[in-house]
């Protein structure tokens, strides 16, 4: 039986991560550190002897470039990769492009914390984590999960919040516990699934 392998990777550090800005659907590139993180992710996957049959990424270049750098390290630059905005980062609406400290000054610490860390309260003009989950999970169920269950070794390079939606399902987290769960940039999560789509094992490939 071929393995049901699913690897999730949050993109490497972006220019706006470095500047402490709300990013969302804006499209900054990777920093030098972000490039190094993506390459290191590929090296750690290679050290485990992993390779892939298919990949998925978002419509944003920081995730796409992370995927390219990982695949280059694996010698798999020709891997077929599906891009879809269903995997895009949470849309921060009116907060996009603002410095997080400036936002706290404008709206107050408690309000910004509520937007960032509640499950179902969206920022003005944006998406809540609940909204992001509602966008990501149908794509997972229709496109990603069937590939994994067919035995296609699958890698997904996406974003903190779009990957939270997948981790919420895989790790059986709740709306109360998922908002506080942090995903480090460029750190692969290696899942092996059972035939019923539940998790058989999980590895976090930290440096």
The SS3 call for residue 130 is: helix
Catalytic: 37?
no
Model pTM score? 0.95
* CA distance linking residue 53 with residue 100, whole number of Å: 39
**For residue 129, what are the domain limits?**
5-204
Asked if 189 and 7 touch (Cβ cutoff 8 Å), the reply is yes
Asked if 53 and 153 touch (Cβ cutoff 8 Å), the reply is yes
Asked if 86 and 159 touch (Cβ cutoff 8 Å), the reply is no
* CA distance linking residue 156 with residue 21, whole number of Å: 24
Q: According to the model, what pLDDT value does residue 3 have?
A: 87
The SS3 call for residue 119 is: coil
Catalytic-role residue among 11, 37, 152, 159: 11
Structure tokens of 191? 């899942």
Tell me the CATH number at 50.
Answer: 3.40.50.1240
| Distances 15 to 20, 29, 55, 76, 169 between C-alpha atoms, Å | 9, 6, 24, 26, 30
| Tens digit of each residue's pLDDT (9 = 90 or more) over 115-134 | 988 999 999 999 999 999 99
Beta-bridge partners for 55:
81, 155
Catalytic-role residue among 37, 89, 127, 152: 89
Catalytic: 159?
no
| Tens digit of each residue's pLDDT (9 = 90 or more) over 62-118 | 999 999 999 999 999 999 999 999 999 999 999 999 999 999 999 999 999 999 889
Asked if 129 and 179 touch (Cβ cutoff 8 Å), the reply is yes
| Tens digit of each residue's pLDDT (9 = 90 or more) over 3-22 | 899 999 999 999 998 899 99
DSSP 12: P
Q: Which among 48, 83, 39, 10 has a CA at the least distance from the CA of 153?
A: 48
Asked if 204 and 170 touch (Cβ cutoff 8 Å), the reply is no
Structure tokens of 78? 């020709």
* Structural domain count, the chain: 1
| Residue 141 pLDDT > 60 | yes
Q: According to the model, what pLDDT value does residue 180 have?
A: 82
């Amino acid at each position: 039986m071929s393995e049901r392998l699913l690897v999730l990777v949050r993109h490497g550090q972006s220019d706006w991560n470095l500047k402490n800005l709300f990013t969302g659907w804006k499209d900054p590139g990777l920093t030098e550190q972000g490039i190094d993180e993506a390459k290191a992710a590929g090296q750690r996957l290679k050290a485990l002897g992993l390779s892939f049959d298919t990949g998925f990424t978002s419509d944003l270049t920081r995730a796409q470039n992370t995927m390219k750098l990982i695949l280059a390290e694996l010698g798999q630059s020709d891997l077929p990769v599906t891009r879809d905005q269903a995997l895009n980062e949470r849309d921060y609406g009116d907060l996009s492009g603002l410095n997080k400290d400036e936002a706290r000054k404008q709206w107050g610490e408690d309000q910004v914390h509520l937007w960032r860390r509640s499950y179902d309260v969206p920022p003005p003009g944006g998406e809540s984590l609940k909204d992001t989950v509602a966008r990501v999970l149908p794509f997972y169920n229709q496109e990603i999960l069937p590939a994994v269950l067919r035995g296609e070794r699958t890698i997904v390079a996406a974003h903190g919040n779009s990957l939270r939606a997948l981790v919420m399902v895989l790790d059986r987290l709740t709306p109360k516990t998922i908002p506080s769960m942090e995903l480090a940039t460029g750190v692969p999560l290696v899942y092996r699934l059972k035939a019923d789509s539940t998790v058989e094992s999980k590895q976090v490939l930290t440096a």
